Structure 1
Amino acid sequence: MAAAAAAALPPLYRRAQAAQPVWLSWPADTPWKTLAVRLALRLGYTAAEGLQVRAVRPGAAVAPGSGPRVHAGGIDFVLRQNLDGEAERAFWGLARTPQLGFALRHASNGADAGVAARLRDGRIGVAAHDPMAAYVASLVLLAHGVRPRPGQLVLWTDADEAQTALVQGDVDAVCVGDPLLTRWQQAGAIRVLSDTRYAAESQRLLGGPVVCACLSASARDIAEHGPTLRALVRAVQRAGRWLQTASAMDLVPYADLADLAGDPGMFVTVVTHTRESWMVDGSLDERSFHHVLRVLRTLSDSERYEALTPERLVATRWSASG
């Protein structure tokens, strides 16, 4: 009798009754790539899908039988897990660009040398927590006919360190994401050479379409928890659609998700600049991962990534529609 009554309920309420647990992790220092995921939680979309989402540290193990562990973040997490022998698979895309800008520091004396000369001789500041920053910086150098040299990159651990280095002239160029990128643009402190928040520029620099952030899980969890992961995807996709059309007034209450509760105007500005970077249809194909691996093999230790193939990185047989 109870089963028959449950079957008569609308789908939304049937899913709510299930209360399927999901263990979800995301890195704290990349809020823009995972914004749709955290909006899905805040807007109640995951709860509407009958999911009980619990936070867990990235890479942490969960008890067998307690629900799937899902990571939301940069593609570097999937790469690292596979290099360490873990069968981590991307199953839904979140961002199709690195969401980084490469810019020259405006010279205080107004006497800028040529771009190539400044790139060849200068030091470039990049965020230590984002491996993609070093790759984008190297690609910009190569695009200007400059081969990256050892010791050229200066790694920053936080925004304050980056701000100090820029103001004091310790770096000649930067490769950063938001909100620093937008803040420095508005202040006239930098001249942007490449802005990969925009899909066309990202594809031009990287040589094709890529996936830069995704939802991923172990191959076993993907095989065993398909309905639960599809419910999560529905919630994230719904949040992604909301994000594409939300007005400034709609966005302001969620500025804290990017640590910008005290500057909601900056949050709205960044979302506006970044919208086309987010994937609403996050269906994945192997072609995007071919491009990612090609870039890594060009700029890094090629032997390290030689064993990785798109088939090992993406859940090719998984479908969001079941």
Structure 2
Amino acid sequence: MKRRTFIASGAVLASGAWSAAPFAFAQGKPEQSKVAIAVGGKNLFYYLPLTIAEKRNYFKDEGLDVEISDFAGGAKALQAAVGGSADVVSGAFEHTLLLQAKNQYFREFVLQGRAPQIVFAVSKKAMPNYKSLADLKGKKIGVTAPGSSTSIMASFALAKAGIKPTDVVFIGVGAGAGAIAALESGQIDAIANLDPVMTKLDRAGDIRIISDTRTLADTKTVFGGNMPAGCLYASQSFITKNPNTTQALTNAMVRALKWLQGASGKDLIATVPEGYLLGDRALYLDSWQHVKEAMSPDGLMPEDGPSTSLKTLQAFDETVKGKPIDLSKAWTNDFVKKALATVKA
């Protein structure tokens, strides 16, 4: 693949003003070849494009030396970026809005998932007589990490039933074997998590699914529109200072997304680390079929995605309610459009 990266102009923030079309490109090398990316639950399908870009050396092809640090959940990965130990986050888009509510400006620049892939379920053992969301009041709900996209999805579902986040107890259980053990041992009454964890629990007969966002149709039913999920985002200052690096990251991710569109199960198994499979290759491939539609085919943010995300947060999150959130500052398709014009799988 011939690598092309681009110099941005017009992205400079002057006196607090933002350009409506902040990025224009010309060829150029990455300003910063070493990039630290934080992710919360790298083994999940939610972040599969990141793993593909890494394992198939797409980042290296772009002249980047990427170091990926894995955390227990998206909220922890976010903290790494805010604290300065990570340049970029592979995480949920809604975190850019939560940050803006605190006057911290981060921008999404390539989408990994066009549906959240999060499954909300109750433990059949802990809640055998479950009838409605109202039964969850006062219960312990396992999420990857408090404040992560899993807790956001669960909070939104509960809010529609009139239950506040403070009416339940969110417990961080991670995104792998620990989450499965927490439910099986009775440490939690319900769980909001992702595949392959949820398919494993479902196949074992341990859970009753009450809300599912692994398909586009189910996502629109839950959220009322397109709900963007995993993405790469960085502070506006990083993007402004490193437009070529941002473009190179985008090129690699778009290439990974294109590869996934045509990858066979055999290709996938041969690429991801053995630990992702939870000891069951057939389970992993079955899970992949559940979430394949949720993967972005091209990295583009749907036009209504940011507003759907904001409405979701406003339904239950007091830090966002009433805040003047400017959605145009939270995302851009400019880098992806340039990548789509030049990058081949």
TM-score if structure 1 supplies the norm length?
0.78
Who is 2:289 aligned against? 272
> Residue 95 of structure 1: SS of its match in structure 2?
coil
Number of the residue aligned with 1:74: 92
Q: Matched residues in 2 for 1:14 and 1:139: separation?
A: 41
Residue 29 of structure 1, CA deviation:
2.0
Please list the CA deviations of residues 28-54 of structure 1 after superposition, one character each: whole Å capped at 9, or x if unmatched.
Answer: 424332221221121122333x32223
> Is the CA contact 1:33–1:74 (under 8 Å) kept in the aligned structure 2?
no
User: What SS is found at the alignment partner of 1:193?
Assistant: strand
| C-alpha contact (below 8 Å) 1:233/1:320 kept by paired residues | no
Q: Which residue is 1:98 aligned to?
A: 116
* Aligned ranges 1:123-202 → 2 under 5 Å: 123-129=140-146, 131-143=148-160, 145-148=161-164, 150-158=166-174, 162-202=179-219
Distance 1:168 1:39, change over 3 A: closer
Q: What corresponds to 2:264 in structure 1?
A: 247
**Paired letter, 1:12:** K
CA distance in 2, matches of 1:238, 1:29: 22
Is residue 2:315 matched to residue 1:298? yes
Q: Deviations over 1:268-290 (max 9, x none)?
A: 22222211111122223553111
Where 2:195 maps in the other structure, the secondary structure is coil
Q: 1:27 aligns with which of 19, 39, 42?
A: 39
User: Post-superposition shift, 1:196?
Assistant: 0.9
User: Are residue 54 (structure 1) and residue 63 (structure 2) matched?
Assistant: no
1:46 partner SS? helix
Give the deviation of 1:189 after TM superposition.
1.0
Q: CA separation in 2, counterparts of 1:216 and 1:175? A: 23
Q: Deviations over 1:61-103 (max 9, x none)?
A: 48xxxxx943322225434543454332111111122221111
Within 2, Cα distance between the matches of 1:79 and 1:290?
10
**Distance across 1 between alignment mates of 2:55 and 2:261:** 16
- SS of the residue 1:183 aligns to: helix
1:12 aligned partner: 2
Contact 1:286 1:311 in 2 (8 A): no
The alignment status of 1:40 with 2:53, answered yes or no, reads yes
3-state DSSP class of the match of 2:199? helix
Aligned length: 302
Q: How many Å separate the matches in 2 of 1:53 and 1:241?
A: 21
User: What's the Cα RMSD here?
Assistant: 3.3
TM-score norm. by structure 2 comes to 0.74
State the distance in 2 between where 1:197 and 1:38 align. 19
Larger Rg computed on CA atoms: 1
Distance 1:258 1:151, change over 3 A: farther
Q: 1:253-272 CA deviation, whole Å, 9 max, x = no partner?
A: 23317633744333322222
Alpha-carbon offset, residue 235 of structure 1: 2.2
Structure 1 pair 42/130, CA: closer, same or farther in 2 (3 Å)?
Answer: farther
> In structure 1, what is the equivalent of residue 231 of structure 2?
214
Partner-residue secondary structure (3-state), 1:299? coil
| Alignment check: 8 A CA contact 2:108 2:233 kept | yes
Give the AA of the match of 1:74: A
Q: CA deviation at 1:132?
A: 2.1
| C-alpha displacement of 1:315 | 3.1
Structure 1, unaligned runs of 5 or more: 1-10, 63-67
Retained in 2: the 8 A contact 1:255–1:261?
Answer: no
- Which amino acid in the other structure matches residue 290 of structure 1? S
Q: 1:290 to 1:253 in 2, by over 3 A?
A: same
User: CA 1:225–1:142 in structure 2 vs 1: closer, same or farther (change >3 Å)?
Assistant: closer
Looking at secondary structure, tell me which structure has more helix per residue.
1
Contact 1:255-1:264 within 8 A present in 2 as well: no
- Gaps of at least 5 residues in structure 2 are 6-27, 70-79, 340-345
How far off its partner does 1:181 sit? 0.6
1:118, distance to aligned residue in structure 2 (A): 3.3
Contact 1:38 1:257 in 2 (8 A): no
Matched AA of 1:103: A
- Tell whether the 8 Å contact from 1:22 to 1:51 is kept in structure 2 after alignment: no
Aligned residue type for 2:254: Q
Superimposed CA distance per residue, residues 182-214 of structure 1 (whole angstroms, 9 cap, x where no aligned partner): 111110111212211112111211121121221
SS in 1 for 2:191: strand
Distance verdict in 2 for CA 1:262–1:103, change over 3 Å: closer
